[in-house]
Amino acid sequence: MNSAMDFLLWTKGPMFDIAMVIFAVGLLARLVEIFMLGRATNYAEPRATEWLPGFRTVLTRSVPDPGTFQRAPFNVLVGWIWHIGFLVALLLFVPHVELVKGVLGISWPALPNPVVDVFTAVTLFSLVATLVHRLTHPVKRHISTVEDYLVWTVVFLVVLTGYLAYHRLVNPYPLALGMHILCAEIFLIILPFTKLTHIFTTFIARWYNGAAFGRKGVQS
Amino acid sequence: MSELTLERGLAAFRAEIDAPIAAFFSSCVHCGICAQSCPFYLETGDPKYTPVLKLEPLRRVWEAEFTLWGRIKRILGLEQKVTDAMLAEWEELLYDSCSMCGRCSMVCPVGNDLAYMIRKTREGMVQSGHAPEGLINASIRAITTGSPMGLQWKTLAVQIKHVESSSGLVVPVDKVGAEYLVLLSSMEVINFPEYLEAITRIFDHAGVTWTLSTQCFEATNAGIQIGNKDIAAQLVERVVAAAEALQVPKVISPECGHAFTAIRWEGPNLIGRRYPFRVFHIVEVLEELRASGRLKTEGKETDRLSMHDPCNLARKSGVIQPQRNLMDLVAENFVDLDEHGKYQWCCGAGGGVSSNERAEPLKMAAFKRKKAQIEKVEPERMVTMCATCRTQLEEGLETFNMDIPVVGLTEMIADHLVEKTPAKDDTRA
Amino acid sequence: MATPIPEKTLGERLRDHGLSRRGFLKLCAATASMMALPASMVPRIAAALEQARRPSVIWLSFQECTGCTESLTRSHAPTLEDLILKMVSLDYHHTLQAAAGEAAEEARLQAMEANAGEYLVIVDGSIPGPDANPGFSTVAGQSNYDILMETVEHAAAVIAVGTCAAFGGLPQARPNPTGAMSVMDLVKDKPVINVSGCPPVPMVITGVLAHYLTFGRLPDLDAYGRPMAFFGQSIHDRCYRRPFYDKGLFAESFDDQGAKEGWCLYRLGCKGPTTYNACATMKWNGGTSWPIESGHPCLGCSEPSFWDGGGFYEPVSVPLTANAGTLLTAGAVGAVVGGGSAALAKHGVKKADAERQPVTIDELEQTQ
């Protein structure tokens, strides 16, 4: 019967719980799967410790070396722009801050809505650009899998439905908001089983990279 | 009789997977930036040489056996299997088009250490019988003769005689209790005999006690290049046995990149214990002598010199500043290539590519990246400190008709030593 | 109060009650603006109302609190209150009718018979459904369900007044002990208009009736069967505090500076963004104020499931049931699952290591 509001309440209620449980189970499983494998004892005499260079790489790897920037400026710039836009929209939009506060009880300041709106619009454009790049760049086209396009679609839909809901471009609004929440839930559900895990594992990967190089005296 | 099979290969892949690899594969987003750091892709333009793609066999084993989702896919019959045919196709990608230079490991935005994974993937390739012929032959020769090029001590003995007669110094052999055990690479002995004379003169000049070992003179390790621990460990054990027999506290790896990686970083792990000695690259030893004022030089090279950092020495071992300090000691017109040190470009010959004859066209293609770098700086000579790099630079420059000689750093230092007045008084028996 | 078929037209009756021509036109203009119709429609409304015959109206009250009737009787336009009592023939209404007992029920049956196919049914309150215990709510020994079905059978249309009748409302809130259902859940073969709200804005009820009298048909409805003229826009879109939302200025507690400045109440749980109603434009109590103007977030009372739609003081974006405990438990389960999976994998690694056959020169030679 009352489809749109029921749909919204379903996405805010049972579906959110399902998505969160799958996300938490999947992510923790993945993290444990990684850490439990461990590393073999390294008997080679180290030049330096691993911890600091590891953490340094966790930070510095966000910025490419100048040569890489020259060779892949589009990748770097658009990648930066949409990641920042996505993070701003995700973490600094008032309703999202309230959501985290509601679920976890922690909160932080948010940005004014029009600012988040601009970031979101830019993110949408950048995401389209990344898809065009993936479809046209020989390397990216060659290495892309179904998963890459699936993940792109989900990420794009999350941002797009959020934008549509904020601007109330779909009626009734509960339908628009429900679509956005559902897309976000699909995002959460596929996160632990796709390349979206990089959101968490990239920091582990960077640390291992920095540690391995750091041990040999190179800041990677 | 046992043979190398796909099953053994898969088991080897499985055995190589550790926490870093799981984190790396979990993080790859297929951004393709690794390709932008790979000379084999950049100079051929063929996207199949994208570094992360070279790891597909290992990735499939990881996904199917090390992830929850992979297990579910397997039950559903959606697993992407690693087959013999696939490994045969990947042989070119993992050997011919990868010098394990590690540049991709430096730029991957999510932090994947791709060279680390290539090295481990090769273990499975060897176990499944998919290693290139050239590297198999080098490995067999290394195990059976002690040298990947089949070089015997008697050949080296002739060299030693030449060095002794031209320098008037004694080359110490099997001298128990010396400070350093000096290792050589076969390529050096054959192509660049001047290295042995150079260190003989430098060590005499600096008053360093050293020795060669008849038991083991070879520093290179074909096992590391082909990617097999068993062969690699046997070769390392020979070095360790020789060093232990002569009771030296320090071992010197020659002007060779992968030999240093093999002995310095992989060796202890291959044999599963710490060494009773320390390992240095010759450049590190020279730098230490320079820093402690034991290298007295005179005169400087005046021509425009530039330098090629061997990947294994610079990016993969952290020896970057020493060679520059040494250059400053003997050269007044030294200019670095644009991207150098940890961001240098591979010559194209490392990681076993130079021992893999069929990879010759790819090796030359990859060299074009180095060539472009050299053209930009326009040096009159290139300096380097790895026999494989040096050979590749010489061949490459000649192929492209560039008249730029390549010299070893150690020889250049030796050329500038202050002559001692009572030349022979110091020589130790 | 039961009347035979009205002889007089609405215009005549209004004049009988002392409404001047001028007052009548004002009423028509108010009706037009209320229904968002252009001013050019006023003469047509006037002509239609002038000629309209009072329809018979049967008002059924089921599981309700009489708040809807209270709202109606406090209608802030007295002339409209007049109108509701005079422009229709209210033949049955528990609270307002004089008759009681069997006479009252008789009035309903009479009206139904006399006006078959033409009378309007207004319902307030939800109905225990056909599968529920009929004893949960009865009138004169008859279950609500039976009365409803019997009454609507020959009705022209049904108007569900209030959220209980429109969407089930409070009685239907979890765990819905009486099996409460809305009118539109039960009445499938008659037009149903929902005038939701807890209670609904009184002018909306009169507006819907005026529309019916003017055009002889039901107004345009939204997806929830509500008249678009009143439910076409959300509270959020018409809210005078909207500019603060757009600027990102929010009250974070009921007594902070933001609350005093009259900033947006989103963070205090305002359901304005998901709520469609006319409060923001029509206001309450003679246009005096409305909840948000008096500093309280909108509860979303005119929407389906508003009792189960999250805490009144929790923002729209907060999930209904998810909490840190669920997340932690799921994480712990994940860690165990991952531990099992990793143990399996590790076992594979150890086995591969233990059973590893060293590569020999002979084997290498064979591959050549």
Shared domain check, B286 and B158: yes
pLDDT tens string C16-63: 767 777 777 777 777 776 666 777 777 877 777 777 777 888 999 999
Cβ-based contacts of B343 with chain A (< 8 Å): 65, 67
Q: Write out C29-51 in H/E/C secondary structure.
A: HHHHHHCCCCHHHHHHHHHHHHH
Nearest to B347, CA basis, from B387, B378, B404: B387
Looking at residue C91, what is its pLDDT? 85
Looking at the complex, does the CB of residue B131 fall below 8 Å from at least one CB of chain C?
A: yes
CA distances in angstroms from B39 to A195, B45, B259, B344, C288, listed in the order given: 26, 10, 22, 11, 76
Cα gap C297→C277, rounded to integer Å? 14
Q: Is B190 helix (H, G, I), strand (E, B) or coil?
A: helix
| A7 touches C224 (CB < 8 A) | no
**Does the pLDDT at position C88 exceed 90?**
no
Write down the ipTM of this complex.
0.96
Looking at residue B251, what is its pLDDT? 97
B136 domain residue, yes or no:
no
Overall average pLDDT of the C244-251 stretch = 91
Cβ-based contacts of A216 with chain B (< 8 Å): 265, 316-318
| C222 touches C231 (CB < 8 A) | yes
Looking at residue C75, what is its pLDDT? 64
Looking at residue C4, what is its pLDDT? 47
Element at B306 (helix H, strand E) = strand B305-307
More confident residue, C202 or B83: B83
Given pLDDT bands bounded at 50, 70 and 90, which one contains residue B423? very low
Element at C57 (helix H, strand E) = strand C56-61
Which two three-digit tokens encode residue B287?
Answer: 């730098």
Cβ-based contacts of C338 with chain A (< 8 Å): 28-33, 36
B282 domain residue, yes or no:
yes
| Structure letter (DSSP) for residue B281 | E
Question: In this prediction, what percent of chain B has a pLDDT beyond 70?
Answer: 97
Which two three-digit tokens encode residue C302?
Answer: 């005119």
Domain CATH code at residue B164? 1.20.1050
Cα gap B229→C353, rounded to integer Å? 12
Question: In this prediction, what percent of chain B has a pLDDT beyond 90?
Answer: 92
Cβ neighbours around C47 below 10 Å, total = 13
Domain count, chain B: 3
Domain CATH code at residue B45? 1.10.1060
Nearest to A37 among C223, C335, C346 (CB): C346
Cβ-based contacts of A26 with chain B (< 8 Å): 68-69
Look at A34 and B317 and tell me if their CB atoms are within 8 Å. no
**Amino acid in the structure at residue C258:** G
Looking at residue C84, what is its pLDDT? 56
Shared domain check, B368 and B394: yes
| B221 touches B259 (CB < 8 A) | yes
Shared domain check, B320 and B228: no
Overall average pLDDT of the B8-14 stretch = 95
Nearest to C264, CA basis, from C280, C247, C277, C251: C251
Looking at residue C95, what is its pLDDT? 80
Given pLDDT bands bounded at 50, 70 and 90, which one contains residue A157? very high
Shared domain check, B223 and B316: no
Nearest to C359 among B14, B68, B126 (CB): B126
Looking at residue A78, what is its pLDDT? 95
Nearest to C305 among A6, A36, A114 (CB): A6
CA distance, residue B295 to nearest chain C CA (Å) = 45
Overall average pLDDT of the C86-107 stretch = 83
Looking at residue C7, what is its pLDDT? 56
Looking at residue C36, what is its pLDDT? 64
Shared domain check, B167 and B81: no
Cα gap C192→C167, rounded to integer Å? 12
pLDDT tens string A31-68: 999 999 999 999 999 999 999 999 999 999 999 999 99
What angle in degrees, to the nearest 10, is found between the helix axes of B321-330 and B282-291? 60
Nearest to B306, CA basis, from B201, B400, B393: B393
Overall average pLDDT of the B89-103 stretch = 96
Cα gap A216→A52, rounded to integer Å? 13
pLDDT tens string B291-326: 999 999 999 999 999 999 999 999 999 999 999 999
Q: Which residues pair with B181 in a beta bridge?
A: B211, B251
Strands B250-253, C138-139: pairing is: unpaired
**Amino acid in the structure at residue C359:** V
Looking at residue C23, what is its pLDDT? 73
Given pLDDT bands bounded at 50, 70 and 90, which one contains residue C286? confident
Looking at the complex, does the CB of residue C333 fall below 8 Å from at least one CB of chain B?
A: no
Looking at residue B428, what is its pLDDT? 45
Shared domain check, B52 and B27: yes
Looking at residue C275, what is its pLDDT? 93
Rg (alpha carbons) of chain C, rounded to whole number: 30
Q: Is C121 helix (H, G, I), strand (E, B) or coil?
A: strand
Whole domain around residue B266: which residue ranges? 145-291
**Does the pLDDT at position C2 exceed 70?**
no
Nearest to A173 among C182, C234, C330 (CB): C234
pLDDT tens string B178-202: 999 999 999 888 889 899 999 999 9
Looking at the complex, does the CB of residue C367 fall below 8 Å from at least one CB of chain B?
A: yes
Looking at residue C81, what is its pLDDT? 54
B137 domain residue, yes or no:
no
Overall average pLDDT of the A97-102 stretch = 94
Overall average pLDDT of the C194-220 stretch = 84
Domain CATH code at residue B396? 3.40.50
Shared domain check, B67 and B152: no
With CA atoms as reference, the chain A residue closest to C268 would be A98
Interface size, chain A vs chain B, as Cβ–Cβ contacts under 8 Å? 184
Looking at residue C3, what is its pLDDT? 46
pLDDT tens string A127-155: 999 999 999 999 999 999 999 999 999 99
Mean pLDDT, chain A, integer: 94
Shared domain check, B315 and B281: no
Instruction: Provide the CA B75 distance to its chain's centre, in angstroms.
Output: 43
CATH number of A3-20+72-199: 1.20.950.20
Shared domain check, B155 and B287: yes
| Structure letter (DSSP) for residue C136 | G
**Does the pLDDT at position B41 exceed 80?**
yes
Please give the torsion angle defined by the CA atoms of residues B37, B40, B45 and B46, in that order, rounded to the nearest 10 degrees. -120
Shared domain check, B315 and B250: no
Shared domain check, B216 and B150: yes
Cβ-based contacts of B111 with chain A (< 8 Å): 57-58, 61, 202-203, 205-210
Q: Which residues pair with C284 in a beta bridge?
A: C289
Burial class (CB in 10 A: 0-12, 13-18, 19+), C347: exposed
- φ, ψ dihedrals at B420, nearest 5°: -80, 140
DSSP notation for B155-172: HHHHHHHHHHHHH-----
B138 domain residue, yes or no:
no
B257 domain residue, yes or no:
yes
Owner of token pair 């080897």: B12
Q: Is C249 helix (H, G, I), strand (E, B) or coil?
A: coil
Q: Which of B102, B131, B160 is the last residue of a domain?
A: B131
Looking at residue B427, what is its pLDDT? 46
DSSP notation for B124-151: HHHHTT-S-HHHHHHHHHHHHHSSTT--
Nearest to A33 among C182, C320, C338 (CB): C338
pLDDT tens string B199-258: 999 999 999 999 999 999 999 999 999 999 999 999 999 999 999 999 999 999 999 999
Sheet of strand B406-408, all strands in order from the earlier edge strand to the far edge: B305-307, B381-384, B406-408
With CA atoms as reference, the chain A residue closest to B344 would be A67
Owner of token pair 């030999």: B259
Q: Which of B238, B264, B291 is the last residue of a domain?
A: B291
- φ, ψ dihedrals at C30, nearest 5°: -65, -40
Which two three-digit tokens encode residue B380?
Answer: 């009159």
Q: Which residues pair with B38 in a beta bridge?
A: none
B299 domain residue, yes or no:
no
Given pLDDT bands bounded at 50, 70 and 90, which one contains residue A1? very low
Cα gap B6→B393, rounded to integer Å? 37
CA distance, residue C362 to nearest chain B CA (Å) = 8
Nearest to B404, CA basis, from B371, B426, B428: B371
Nearest to A26, CA basis, from A207, A219, A189, A198: A189
Shared domain check, B328 and B265: no
